[in-house]
Chain A
Amino acid sequence: MSKKLMKGNEALAEAMIRAGCDAYFGYPITPQSEVIEYLSREATNRTGMVVLQAESEVAAINMIYGSAASGRRVMTTSSSPGISLMQEGLSYIAAAELPCLVANINRGGPGLGTIQPSQGDYFQATKGGGHGDYHLIVLAPSSVQEMVDYTKLGFELAEKYRCPTMLLADGAIGQMMEKVELFEQMPRKTEFPDWATTGKPKNGDRRIITSLFIQPEKMEQINLGLQRKYREIEKNEVRFQTINTEDAEYIFTGFGLGARICTKAMESGRAKGYKIGVVRPQTLYPFPVEIYNQLSKKVKGILDVEMNAGQMVEDVRLAVRGNTRVEFYGRMGGIIATPDEILEYFEKMFL
């Protein structure tokens, strides 16, 4: 296994190639344009992977639809305003049960906002995002290494459940450089699932990929099927990390970069004698409800830290069910909280 110093966005692109991705369609947007630049240089020569710069994010996600419905391993990446443009396509992809991977290198919003990092798209990512009742599986990398690992995992989950999957990172993780261990090149697929439109089989029925079921009874059945799948995902795919929770009296929690800052703040707090632990959801959907609920029965309080106005904290509060006090500390607009200000806030609120 080779270890390399890589930028988050480039590590993501390299992992995409190595995961045997068949096609990437994207549109440049800061702070993730390195992905399409890296792929344009590297991908096609190495694996024959299709890399195409679309005319818009709207077109890109619909190209993803076409390739995913062809049974291929496909991915797109963008940042917040571009991800908003993809929501229509994601709703169709979720409804048609097509596997694909989408990375959102979250920047500050709303609107054109700022190009600096943010976690303001948590609601959009985890609650559906487009129209209708659906979910994406959402993974939250907090390091360049996890950009690599979750790309591979993301493809696997997307294909296992025929469910669009999102990596929700932020501009800082996309731009930062860290040492990463890359997995070996995987072969691209040569066989495709039965449901994929690869030309009507000579002795079989034609395949139809659609999200249109005009009869309400049928559409309800489609919805019930999706919900059964989401319950299955909630049962099987919850992932989280805990640090120093065994003796903890307080919990700091956050995701992605926010969780790293929480960890630093926890260490400073421990040095001052506070018994603090950290919970970091690695899957934002499915959300790790149980661990919060368990810990809420024994800790004195939870401080949720995010780079937004308080989004994941709503899920934390639901999970805690009033068992313990939950406070929130967030910075917005591309500002990243420091460990010191988090600890200061903790001391003010809880001690």
Chain B
Amino acid sequence: MAEEEKDFIFSDICVEENLVYRKPVTLTDTELHYCPGCGHGVAHKILMEVVDEMGIQNEVIGVAPVGCSVFAYHYMNVDMQEAAHGRACAVATGIKRVQPDKFVFTYQGDGDLAAIGTAETIHAANRGENFLIVFINNGVYGMTSGQMAPTTLPGMVTTTSPFGRDVKVQGHPLKIADLVASLPGAAYVTRQSVHKPVNVRKAKKTFQKAFEYQKRGLGTCLVEIVSNCPSNWKMTPLESNKFVEDKMIPFYPLGDLKVPEGK
């Protein structure tokens, strides 16, 4: 195709009435550092789409964790704070307590939220801190390249469970969303995934609900995303999504664990 022809076609097609998708203004133009096939990119996108669609970009403060999503603030075009490892829920408590009219969220992985930050997570939810916790669970430490996480499945191979996680030696996977759901302060706890388009759409709706509940001051909302890690699972993106479907979801079943009363 000649150059002039291409230009003609693009300018003809790229018009407002043909628009089916536009990157939300709540995402920056920075290139994601995530590995190909990783669920973080999708989770970032739907979270920021919700912020955009709700028109709350100027009222949101996010907290990034330590882990693969440590640079979430490079991509999310909202005010953000970078927390120490595991302390995102304490940092978010500090933010929300002095800015109760703002929307606050944390974005944390399994190591951050369910290992080193367990106390902060449980106590924030137990106080009913009125913010959203986004919890990405891929059963492995991604940033430090593949060590066992608190959520690593029994028998799953990681660099620190090279013979498969032996629950008698290394303990059991921690279902922290279930723990949080048992606390009176938690308003909404749900487990979702982003490995299929239908799940992406469902997960996005839960973010919207969570921000709405936050607006109504109902208490802590936790959205767990059961996700993948192609690089550290040593799989192709497709294989990793199949692992999510076949292994992760049976152990971490999707759906609401707690919904606000009267909903």
The chain A residues found within 8 Å of chain B, CB to CB, are 22-23, 25, 50, 52, 54-56, 58-60, 62-70, 72, 74, 88-89, 92, 96, 197-202, 206-212
The majority secondary structure among interface residues of chain B is helix
C-alpha gap A201/B95 in the complex (Å): 17
Are the CB atoms of B57 and A200 closer together than 8 Å?
A: yes
C-alpha gap A67/B93 in the complex (Å): 8
* Complex interface bits, B88-104 against A, C-beta within 8 A gives 1, otherwise 0: 00111111111100100
Given A199-B79, A199-B102, A52-B84 contact (CB < 8 Å): no
CB neighbours (8 Å) of A22 from chain B are 98
Q: Which 9 A-B pairs have the closest CB atoms?
A: A66-B94, A62-B90, A210-B82, A63-B94, A62-B87, A197-B79, A66-B91, A55-B123, A67-B94
Which single member of A55, A56, A65 contacts B91 (CB below 8 Å)?
A65
Are the CB atoms of A65 and B80 closer together than 8 Å?
A: no
C-alpha gap A282/B258 in the complex (Å): 55
CB neighbours (8 Å) of B81 from chain A are 65-66, 69, 197, 208-210
Known: A70-B94, A92-B84, A200-B58. 5 other contacts (CB 8 A): A23-B97, A62-B83, A62-B84, A65-B90, A208-B80
C-alpha gap A206/B79 in the complex (Å): 5
CB neighbours (8 Å) of A66 from chain B are 63, 81, 83, 90-96
C-alpha gap A146/B57 in the complex (Å): 44
CB neighbours (8 Å) of A208 from chain B are 73, 79-82
Max chain A C-beta neighbours (<10 A), residue from B57, B102, B120: B120
- Which residue from chain B places its CB closest to the CB of A56 in the assembled complex? B119
Shortest distance from the beta carbon of A52 to any chain B beta carbon, whole Å:
6
CB neighbours (8 Å) of A67 from chain B are 94-95, 97-98
CB neighbours (8 Å) of A56 from chain B are 119
Which single member of B73, B77, B95 contacts A210 (CB below 8 Å)?
B73
The chain B residues found within 8 Å of chain A, CB to CB, are 57-61, 63-64, 70-71, 73, 77-84, 87, 90-99, 102, 119-120, 123
Are the CB atoms of A63 and B91 closer together than 8 Å?
A: yes
Are the CB atoms of A63 and B80 closer together than 8 Å?
A: no
C-alpha gap A318/B80 in the complex (Å): 42
Are the CB atoms of B73 and A89 closer together than 8 Å?
A: no
C-alpha gap A151/B120 in the complex (Å): 28
Sampled A-B contacts (15; CB under 8 Å): A55-B119, A62-B90, A63-B94, A65-B84, A66-B92, A69-B94, A70-B61, A89-B87, A197-B61, A197-B79, A198-B61, A200-B78, A208-B79, A208-B82, A209-B81
- Which residue from chain A places its CB closest to the CB of B57 in the assembled complex? A200
C-alpha gap A50/B99 in the complex (Å): 11
Are the CB atoms of B120 and A59 closer together than 8 Å?
A: yes
Which single member of B90, B96, B99 contacts A58 (CB below 8 Å)?
B90
Are the CB atoms of B82 and A63 closer together than 8 Å?
A: no
C-alpha gap A157/B80 in the complex (Å): 25
- Which residue from chain B places its CB closest to the CB of A65 in the assembled complex? B91
Are the CB atoms of A62 and B91 closer together than 8 Å?
A: yes
Which single member of A65, A198, A202, A211 contacts B99 (CB below 8 Å)?
A198
Are the CB atoms of B82 and A201 closer together than 8 Å?
A: no
- Which residue from chain B places its CB closest to the CB of A66 in the assembled complex? B94
Are the CB atoms of B93 and A212 closer together than 8 Å?
A: no
CB neighbours (8 Å) of B102 from chain A are 198-199
C-alpha gap A2/B80 in the complex (Å): 43
C-alpha gap A66/B106 in the complex (Å): 12
Are the CB atoms of B95 and A70 closer together than 8 Å?
A: yes
CB neighbours (8 Å) of A55 from chain B are 119-120, 123
Shortest distance from the beta carbon of A58 to any chain B beta carbon, whole Å:
7
C-alpha gap A57/B230 in the complex (Å): 37
Are the CB atoms of B60 and A199 closer together than 8 Å?
A: yes
C-alpha gap A198/B120 in the complex (Å): 23
CB neighbours (8 Å) of B79 from chain A are 197-200, 206-208
CB neighbours (8 Å) of B78 from chain A are 199-200, 206
CB neighbours (8 Å) of A69 from chain B are 81, 91, 94-95
CB neighbours (8 Å) of B84 from chain A are 62, 65, 88-89, 92
C-alpha gap A107/B47 in the complex (Å): 47
CB neighbours (8 Å) of A68 from chain B are 94
Are the CB atoms of A200 and B77 closer together than 8 Å?
A: yes
- Which residue from chain A places its CB closest to the CB of B85 in the assembled complex? A88
CB neighbours (8 Å) of B61 from chain A are 70, 197-199
C-alpha gap A245/B84 in the complex (Å): 47
CB neighbours (8 Å) of B82 from chain A are 96, 208-212
Shortest distance from the beta carbon of B83 to any chain A beta carbon, whole Å:
7
Given A56-B119, A200-B57, A63-B90 contact (CB < 8 Å): yes
C-alpha gap A66/B84 in the complex (Å): 11
Shortest distance from the beta carbon of A25 to any chain B beta carbon, whole Å:
7
- Which residue from chain A places its CB closest to the CB of B66 in the assembled complex? A212
C-alpha gap A72/B79 in the complex (Å): 16
Given A62-B83, A209-B82, A54-B90 contact (CB < 8 Å): yes
